[in-house]
Amino acid sequence: MEKMSITFLALVVLGCASTTMPIAAQSGSTPKDGELIFPADYKSYAAFLHGIQKSDAVRDLYINPTGASAEAGQPFANGSILVMEIYNAKKNAEGTLEKGADGNLVKADLAKVFVMQKDAGWGKHARENLKNGDWIYSGFKANGERLDVDYTTCRGCHLPLGASKDFVHRYDEYFEKRIQAAH
C-alpha cells in the first residue's frame, strides 16, 4: 500500500513537471547558453524594432507576447523571448553597399538569428561575473540550426546595460517607440 502511494505521488509530481516545463528546457533541466529551442514562429511576434542600420548589416528585432507585456521601467517577465535577425546588407556587382531610396541599407540574405530568453532561475549556471539576470543566449543559422558561439561574448556585451535596462540594449528605444505608436 505504502509503495503504491509513493508510485502515485511520483506520477503526480512527474505529471506536474511536464505540464509546467518551460518551452526551452532540454529534458526537464534548466537550459544553458546555446541550448534554447529555436522559436520557429518568431515572425508572428510583435516588432521590437525593425530596420536597425549597422555598417554592413540590417537587424530586425522581435518580442514574444509575454515580453511585450512589460511596462517601461520594469524588467521583462519570465517567459520573455527577444529575437534579433541579422541580415547581410546588399552589395552591388562591385561589392559596394547599396542604399534604398530612403538612404537605408537594403536587406540581402538572413545571416543569423540571435535569441535571448528568460525564465525563473535560468541564470544560475552563468559564471559569477557574467550574470545577466535570468537571460539565456543562443545563436542560430537562418534555418534554425544552432551556431557554435562563444556565449561569454553575448553576456559580456549585454552585461553593462545592467538590471535597470534588464540587460537589453534597445530597452529605452523600444518603450519610447511603443508609447509613440500608441498615441
User: Does 168 help bind ligand HEC (rule: CB under 6 A)?
Assistant: yes
From 6-14, 15-23, 121-129, 133-141, span contacting ligand HEC (CB under 6 A): 133-141
Min CB(10)–ligand HEC separation in Å: 37
- Whichever of 90 and 169 has its CB closer to ligand HEC, that residue is 169
Min CB(155)–ligand HEC separation in Å: 8
For 45, 70, 137, 154, the CA distances from 60, given in Å and listed in that order, are 12, 19, 17, 17
User: Does 178 help bind ligand HEC (rule: CB under 6 A)?
Assistant: no
Q: Which of 7, 29, 69, 153 binds ligand HEC (CB under 6 A)?
A: 153
By the 10 Å C-beta count (0-12 exposed, 13-18 middle, 19+ buried), 55 is classed as: exposed
Please tell me the distance from the alpha carbon of residue 99 to that of residue 97, in angstroms, as a whole number. Answer: 7
C-beta separation of 83 from 61 below 8 A: yes
Q: Which of 91, 125, 169, 177 binds ligand HEC (CB under 6 A)?
A: 169
Min CB(154)–ligand HEC separation in Å: 3
Q: Which of 149, 152, 159, 175 binds ligand HEC (CB under 6 A)?
A: 149
Q: Which three cell numbers stand for residue 144?
A: 534554425
Min CB(88)–ligand HEC separation in Å: 14
Residues near ligand HEC (CB under 6 A) are: 52, 54, 59, 61, 82-84, 114-116, 137-139, 149, 153-154, 157-158, 168-170
